[in-house]
Amino acid sequence: MHDELVDHLTRSTPLNRGEALRVVQDVLAYFDETTEEFVRRRHRELQAQGLVNAEIFERIGADLKYRAVAPPELSLRQLRRIVYG
């Protein structure tokens, strides 16, 4: 899977083929995350850092703009509904 990318990484970095393949798989898994999964994961991460929901949902809303395929803009209410149902 993605042999050209793995080959490029092994030529352009000190990674061996197994390491390069693992990096590619990790990156693809990261970007395969749905919007809902991303929102829930980021909420947990930011909550663990001690942030309160007002700060968390503002930051998540800003973070979503930088996803590889940015979803439509979600309101704070929509973000809360993803987390809490």
**What is the chain's Cα-based Rg?**
17
Q: Are 41 and 74 contained in the same domain?
A: yes
Q: Are 40 and 80 contained in the same domain?
A: yes
Total tally of structural domains belonging to the chain: 2
Predicted pLDDT of residue 31: 80
Predicted pLDDT of residue 19: 97
Q: Are 28 and 7 contained in the same domain?
A: yes
Q: Are 13 and 41 contained in the same domain?
A: no
Predicted pLDDT of residue 24: 94
Q: Are 42 and 72 contained in the same domain?
A: yes
Q: Do 21 and 47 touch, CB atoms closer than 8 A?
A: no
Domain holding 25, by residue range, is 1-32
Predicted pLDDT of residue 16: 97
Predicted pLDDT of residue 1: 61
- Maximum C-alpha span of the chain: 47
Q: Are 17 and 39 contained in the same domain?
A: no
Low-confidence ranges of the chain (pLDDT < 50): none
